[in-house]
Amino acid sequence: MTAGAPVITLDGPGGAGKGTLASELARGLGWWLLDSGALYRLVGLSALREGLNPGADADRARAAVIAQGLAVHFVPDTGAGQRVELAGADVTDAIRADDVSEAASRWAALPAIRQALLARQRDFVVPPGLVADGRDMGTVIFPQADLKLYITASAHERARRRYAQLSEKGVAANLERIYREIVERDQRDASRDAAPLKPAADAHVIDTTGEDVATSLEKIHDLVAAKGWRVD
């Protein structure tokens, strides 16, 4: 059990639906929400803006400094779960861009960046409780979490969802390219030396392939109720 307040972790690959599920769960419990992926996306966004290269020693050192000093603020938003601000500017949409996602994945593979964000993530544990969404929440950041979930879906399903999202926004997209990028990112996240993507040994695995949010959320609510927590 974590000190100070209960913690529920949701880990898994991008596009599996864990962000939506984490947001809905936090809202229903009345707990705080940590979108750890947003922190890495903010590092990716900042690095892109400064033209940093993860292959250069000096740039890696600069990115670690950026990670330690991120002026980030998560603002509750009734419509979108929460708004992400960087130095007072709303970057909620900017950090979801494909180039930022790619950059975030590459920077997140570096031990120095993960170490720089470790303490910051743990500081989010405050009453009444925390729902933590990410890729290593249950394995590294909160290994003593009260409930661990691993949210997954097939690469084809996640590519289809991303294609639909972009199409709805009127953005031209190629389904095959999206699928290849997802597979490559999965392989990179799973094979990195620093906190590789994998389910915690004691995590409950929930596959959302072919399921709507309500169905997946119901499964999670059953696990939460078994812990004695009430979800409104």
Ramachandran class of 4: left when φ > 0, alpha when ψ lies in -120 to 50, beta otherwise = left
Buried b (16+ CB within 10 A) or exposed e, 153-162: bbbebbbbbb
Task: List, for residues 29-39, the tens digit of each pLDDT value.
Answer: 999 999 998 99
Q: CA-to-CA distance for 21 and 8, rounded, in angstroms?
A: 12
The strand pairing partners of 74, in sequence order, are 84
Q: Which CATH architecture has domain 7-221?
A: 3-Layer(aba) Sandwich (3.40)
Segments making up each domain of the chain, as ranges: 7-221
Lowest mean pLDDT among 23-32, 71-80, 131-140, 153-162: 71-80
Task: List, for residues 54-91, the tens digit of each pLDDT value.
Answer: 999 999 999 999 999 998 888 877 555 688 999 999 99
pLDDT of residue 13 exceeding 60, the answer is yes
Asked if 64 contacts 116 with a C-beta cutoff of 8 angstroms, the reply is: yes
Mean pLDDT of the chain: 91
Instruction: State the average pLDDT over residues 79-105.
Output: 87
pLDDT of residue 231 exceeding 70, the answer is yes
Lowest mean pLDDT among 1-5, 24-28, 192-196, 201-205: 1-5
In the chain, pLDDT over 90 holds for what percent of residues?
73
